[in-house]
Chain A
Amino acid sequence: MKALLFRDLKLAFRAGGGFGLGIAFFLIVVILVPFSVGPESGLLTKIAPGVLWLGALLACLLSLDRILALDWEDGTLDLVATSPLPLEGVVSVKALAHWITTGVPLVVAAPVFGVLLNLPPQGFVWLVASLALGTPALSVIGTFGAALTVGIKRGGLLLSLLILPLYVPTLIFGAELARRGAVGQEVTTPLLMLAGITFGVIALLPFASALVLRMNLR
């Protein structure tokens, strides 16, 4: 499983692996927002946590079909499935690799982009905390979507349609946590709810992902 993780990471970091695409996309979303809503700093401060969360979510979504599609096409997935590794472990590792290559850079970059959107100083901690806690959920849920649509040619759009409704609770609690942190309100409730969702999906969803992957590989 460790070998699989390193293989996925290596593939992602090398040329053509698409590492950094997500973060560039995130940057572009953040830059485009002031163009569309206007440059007033008061307004930007108000919407900054929500925009940053939405940008991170879309950047995550963009790279989801890479999680399994390439391995599916060249047959790696069949080999991995017939190996003694449990498929539940494989999809967990895939989700972890996706989080390391997409989620972690987003978390690291978010404060920088927060400056661009005039995020108040006390908001940075909670923005990073909410993203660090929420992006693993995005990766795990996304892996489920990728496993669901892996057999479909040009399934990217369908994947978005299936995954976006599943992202709703994560987005609500994540953005709420970042917003409350930014305006200095009590953060306990959204923090606990977001943690609950993240750990819940990490614990349960790999079973569903492995199940649908098996159905697709049949």
Chain B
Amino acid sequence: MGSIWEYANPVKFSQTVSRFLLPVAILAAIATIVGLIWGFFFTPDDYRQGATVKIIYLHVPSALMAINIWFMMLVTSLIWLVRRHHVSALAAKAAAPVGVVMTLIALWTGAVWGQPMWGTWWAWDPRLTSFLILFLFYLGYIALWEAIDNPDTAADLTAVLCIVGSVFAMLSRYAVNFWNQGLHQGASIMRAGAVTGADTEEKVSNVFFYPLMMCIVGFVLFFVALVLLRTRTEIHKRRTRALLARERLA
């Protein structure tokens, strides 16, 4: 096994994808299905929130993915700008629509959960607002990819947009925090006190924690499978275009 940069070769990448796509997809399906069924049918209702708490198995994994997909796009954009590996740029392009869908799932499940719990579908809470802004960033990123004809220029410009956008996304995150105090609770899945047992009421109980982890793993694998597949599709699309262009010249 050589260096990771070997996979920057599109042919090598496609071969690897062909080998791993099916196992990853199957594992993703198993983890998601097991996690969801476990979560929905084999965990007790929360003593205050009742059965509505079960939407956590969709809400938390999708929200996690929405943020981490943007982070992954940032890393691949940097790799593209520094090392000019096309696969890297295409992976960022392939990941963006998945990120949009994850953001939408997080917003939607949040609204569905918020209605019975907070009595409102939507509140201008910092976390909710940040996600809306993240959604706008994703839209702008995809729109810029779509708008430019030259694939290399498009990859360059979107990479810079991703980097600058990340900085502004962080800024916005702190700005909205300052702007409004919210309803949404803080992250309580991995709270420090949970390990030492200092505030045991605050942490998510293990009964909910294991199926939730299962769902998160399922979502991550699902994302990996989708990105591998979509990146390979992009490579094939580009190769087809190159072949067609050569045909026309001949």
In the bound assembly, the distance between CA atoms of A157 and B52 in angstroms comes to 40
Known interface pairs A166-B164, A212-B157; A176-B140 also in contact (CB < 8 Å): no
- Which segment, of B38-46, B58-66, B170-178, faces chain A? B170-178
A205 to B175, CA, bound (A): 19
Q: How far is the CB of B63 from chain A (nearest CB, A)?
A: 18
| Complex contact B168–A149 (CB within 8 A) | no
Q: How many residues of A contact B (CB 8 A)?
A: 28
A193 and B171 alpha carbons, distance in the complex (Å): 10
Beta-carbon contact of B168 and A151 below 8 Å: no
A148 x B161 contact (CB < 8 A): yes
Residues of B within 8 A of A152 (CB): 147-148
Q: Judging by beta carbons under 8 Å apart, are B178 and A166 in contact?
A: no
CA distance in complex: A39, B168 (Å): 36
Q: Is the interface of A mostly helix, strand, loop or mixed?
A: helix
Residues of B within 8 A of A168 (CB): 133, 168, 171-172, 175-176
Cα separation A212 to B140 with both chains bound (whole Å): 16
B117 at interface by CB-CB < 8 Å: no
Chain B 128-167 near chain A by CB (<8 Å), digits 1 or 0: 0000010011011001100110000100110011011100
Whether the pair A169, B157 counts as a contact (CB closer than 8 A) is no
Answer whether residue B118 sits at the interface, using C-beta atoms and an 8 A cutoff.
no
Residues 135-187 of A at the B interface (beta carbon under 8 Å):
144, 148-149, 151-152, 155, 158, 161-162, 164-166, 168-169, 172-173, 176
Residues B160 and A212 in contact, CB atoms below 8 Å apart: yes
* Inter-subunit contact B153/A169 (CB<8 Å): no
- Is the Cβ of B160 less than 8 Å from the Cβ of A169? no
Q: Is A32 an interface residue (CB 8 A)?
A: no
Does B20 make an interface contact (CB < 8 A)?
Answer: no
CB distance from A54 to the nearest CB of B (A): 14
What are 21 sample pairs from A and B whose C-beta atoms fall under 8 A apart?
A148-B157, A149-B144, A161-B139, A161-B143, A162-B140, A162-B143, A165-B133, A165-B136, A165-B168, A166-B168, A168-B172, A169-B175, A172-B178, A190-B178, A193-B175, A197-B171, A208-B160, A208-B164, A215-B153, A215-B160, A216-B157
For the complex, is A211 an interface residue (Cβ under 8 Å from B)?
Answer: yes
Contact assessment for B147 and A211 in the assembled complex, using a CB-CB cutoff below 8 Å: no
Using A152-B147, A172-B178, A193-B178 as known contacts, say yes or no to A166 and B157 having CB atoms under 8 A apart. no
A172–B153 contact, CB under 8 A? Answer: no
